[in-house]
C-alpha cells in the first residue's frame, strides 16, 4: 500500500479539494491510504476558539461561526445541492464541538486544546470523503482515533505502537482506498490526543510502519524538499535525493517540509518517502531513502523565528558542572521547552529554546532561584547545513548576531529580529 498525505494548503479551498481528486486520478485510487490535515489555517483559527473559550468557559459564538462559515463556503462550492449529506455531517461535527464546550469541566489548556483543535481534521476529512463519493470514488473513511492509540500527554502524545499496529492491521485491507485524519489519536480513555504541530506527516509514517507500506508521499505546495524556505530565502534549490539521516538532521534543525518524528519509523523499515508538489504531480520531487547522498552537497538554510535565547551562570561564579546542567535540563523538560542550540563555557551556559507551550515566565522564575539569568525573547535561529564561506557571509550580512556556533559541517546563528 501507499500512504498519501495532503496538508492544509492542499485542501484550503474548493479548487484545492478538486485538485486532490486530479492528483489521485494521476496516481491511481487503489491500494492507498489518504491522510488529510485541517483545511488551510483552520488549526490557527481553532486555537483562537480555544483561547476565547478558556477565558470564560462559554461558547465563543463569533469565532465558532467564522470556522463554520469557512467550511460551509467550501462545501457550498463543491456541492450544488444545498441538501447534500455533507451539510448534515458538518452540522453534526459542530454540534459535537459545542456540546464539548457546554459540558467540559476542565480548564487544563493542553486537554482542551486537543479536544477542540481536532475538529479541523474531522471537518476536512468529512468534506473530502463526500466529494470523493460524489465523484464515484469508492473508499472507506476511518476515524484516526480508532487507529492511533497514545498516552495522555495532550498536544504531544506518544504512540502506543503495539495497540496502534493491531488496530491498523485489523481495519485496513490491501487493494482498497482509505481516508483518515492526520495529527490526531486517542488515549486509553478515548479522549482525543494530538501528535504535535504538523503531526499529519507523522500519522502517515505511523500507518506506513504498521502495514509495511511501499512508500509515503507527502504532497506539498513546493516542488519537494528545498535547501531553503522560499518564504524567507530567494531562489531556493530542490534537493532531489537525500538520506534518512540528512533529512532527520534538517528536520531537527527546523526544516518545515518534514516533521521531525516522521522519518524515524520510516527509517526503521526502510520505507521510502517522497515529497512532491500537488501543483505539479508529474514533477520529480524529492526522494528520501536509505543511503541516498545529498547530491550535490549544497548549503541548506533553515530559520526558526520567535525563539528565546537564555543565558545562565552560577550565582557564586562557580563552574557550570554536570549537576547544574542536569538541573537545567530537568526544568526544560518540566516546562516543555524544546532546546534548539546549546553553548557553554566554564561559568556560563546559553541555550536557544522554543517556547511553544508558553511556559517561559514560569521557567525563568524557577531558574532564578539557582542561577543568574538573562534572556532575550523573539530572536531568530539560523542554521546552515553544509555551509561554506560564501553562504555564511551572505547570512551574517546586516544581522545583529547574539551567538554563533560552528561545527564540522553546520553553523548556527542567533540573531535579534
C-alpha span between 24 and 41 (Å, rounded): 23
C-alpha span between 79 and 265 (Å, rounded): 38
* 383 annotated as belonging to a binding site for a ligand: no
3-state DSSP assignment of residue 277: strand
CB 181 within 8 A of CB 125: yes
Using alpha carbons only, what angle is made at residue 203 by residues 200 and 207, rounded to the nearest 5 degrees? 150
* 231 annotated as belonging to a binding site for a ligand: yes
* 68 annotated as belonging to a binding site for a ligand: no
Q: Give backbone dihedrals phi and psi of 208, rounded to 5 degrees, phi first.
A: -60, -45
251 Cβ contact partners less than 8 Å away, ≥ 6 residues apart: 258, 259, 260, 262, 263
* 6 annotated as belonging to a binding site for a ligand: yes
Q: Give backbone dihedrals phi and psi of 389, rounded to 5 degrees, phi first.
A: -65, -40
C-alpha span between 217 and 374 (Å, rounded): 44
CB 194 within 8 A of CB 256: no
* 43 annotated as belonging to a binding site for a ligand: yes
Q: Which residue has the cell 483561547?
A: 51
Nearest of 241, 217, 218 to residue 291 by alpha carbon? 241
* 173 annotated as belonging to a binding site for a ligand: no
Using alpha carbons only, what angle is made at residue 156 by residues 155 and 157, rounded to the nearest 5 degrees? 105
* 121 annotated as belonging to a binding site for a ligand: yes
Q: Record the cell numbers describing residue 145, joined without a space.
A: 482515533
Nearest of 206, 228, 208, 204 to residue 218 by alpha carbon? 204
Q: Compute and round to an integer the Cα radius of gyration of the chain.
A: 23
Nearest of 273, 161, 144, 291 to residue 220 by alpha carbon? 273
**Residue list, annotated binding site:** 5-8, 43, 121, 231
**Residue list, annotated binding site for ATP:** 5-8, 231
**Residue list, annotated binding site for substrate:** 43, 121
Amino acid at each position: 500500500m501507499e500512504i498519501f498525505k495532503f496538508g492544509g494548503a492542499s485542501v484550503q479551498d474548493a479548487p484545492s479539494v478538486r485538485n486532490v481528486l486530479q492528483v489521485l486520478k494521476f496516481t491511481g485510487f487503489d491500494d492507498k491510504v489518504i491522510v488529510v490535515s485541517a483545511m488551510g489555517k483552520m488549526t490557527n483559527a481553532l486555537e483562537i476558539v480555544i483561547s476565547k473559550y478558556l477565558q470564560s468557559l462559554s461558547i465563543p459564538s463569533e469565532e465558532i461561526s467564522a470556522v463554520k462559515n469557512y467550511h460551509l463556503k467550501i462545501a457550498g462550492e463543491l456541492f450544488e445541492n444545498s441538501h447534500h449529506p455533507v451539510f448534515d455531517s458538518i452540522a453534526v461535527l459542530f454540534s459535537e464541538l459545542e456540546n464539548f464546550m457546554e459540558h467540559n469541566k476542565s480548564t487544563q489548556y493542553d486537554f482542551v486544546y486537543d479536544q477542540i483543535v481536532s475538529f479541523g481534521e474531522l471537518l476536512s476529512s468529512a468534506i473530502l470523503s463526500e466529494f470523493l463519493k460524489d465523484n464515484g470514488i469508492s473508499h472507506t473513511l476511518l476515524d484516526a482515533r480508532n487507529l492511533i492509540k497514545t498516552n495522555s500527554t495532550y498536544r504531544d502524545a506518544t504512540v502506543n505502537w503495539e495497540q496502534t499496529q493491531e488496530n491498523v492491521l485489523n481495519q485496513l485491507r490491501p487493494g482498497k482506498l482509505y481516508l483518515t485524519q492526520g495529527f490526531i489519536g486517542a488515549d486509553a480513555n478515548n479522549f482525543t490526543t494530538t501528535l504535535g504541530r504538523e503531526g499529519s506527516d507523522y500519522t502517515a509514517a505511523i500507518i506506513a510502519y504498521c502495514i509495511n507500506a511501499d512508500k509515503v508521499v507527502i504532497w506539498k505546495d513546493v516542488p519537494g524538499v528545498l535547501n531553503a524556505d522560499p518564504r524567507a530565502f530567494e531562489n531556493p534549490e530542490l534537493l532531489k535525493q537525500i538520506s534518512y539521516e540528512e533529512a532527520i538532521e534538517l528536520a531537527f534543525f527546523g526544516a518545515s517540509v518534514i516533521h521531525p518524528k516522521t522519518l524515524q519509523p520510516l527509517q526503521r523499515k526502510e520505507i521510502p518517502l517522497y515529497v512532491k508538489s500537488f501543483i505539479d504531480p508529474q514533477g520529480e520531487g524529492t526522494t528520501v531513502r536509505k543511503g541516498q547522498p545529498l547530491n550535490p552537497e549544497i548549503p541548506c538554510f533553515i530559520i526558526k523565528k520567535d525563539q528565546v535565547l537564555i543565558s545562565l551562570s552560577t550565582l557564586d561564579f562557580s563552574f557550570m558542572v554536570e549537576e547544574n546542567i542536569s538541573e537545567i535540563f530537568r526544568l526544560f523538560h518540566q516546562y516543555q521547552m524544546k532546546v534548539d542550540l546549546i553553548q557553554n563555557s566554564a561559568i556560563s551556559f546559553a541555550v536557544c529554546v522554543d517556547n511553544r507551550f508558553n511556559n517561559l515566565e514560569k521557567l525563568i522564575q524557577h531558574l532564578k532561584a539557582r542561577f543568574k539569568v538573562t534572556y532575550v525573547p523573539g530572536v531568530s535561529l539560523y542554521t546552515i547545513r553544509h555551509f561554506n564561506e560564501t553562504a555564511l557571509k551572505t547570512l551574517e550580512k546586516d544581522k545583529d548576531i547574539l551567538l554563533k556556533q560552528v561545527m564540522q559541517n553546520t553553523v548556527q546563528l542567533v540573531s535579534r529580529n
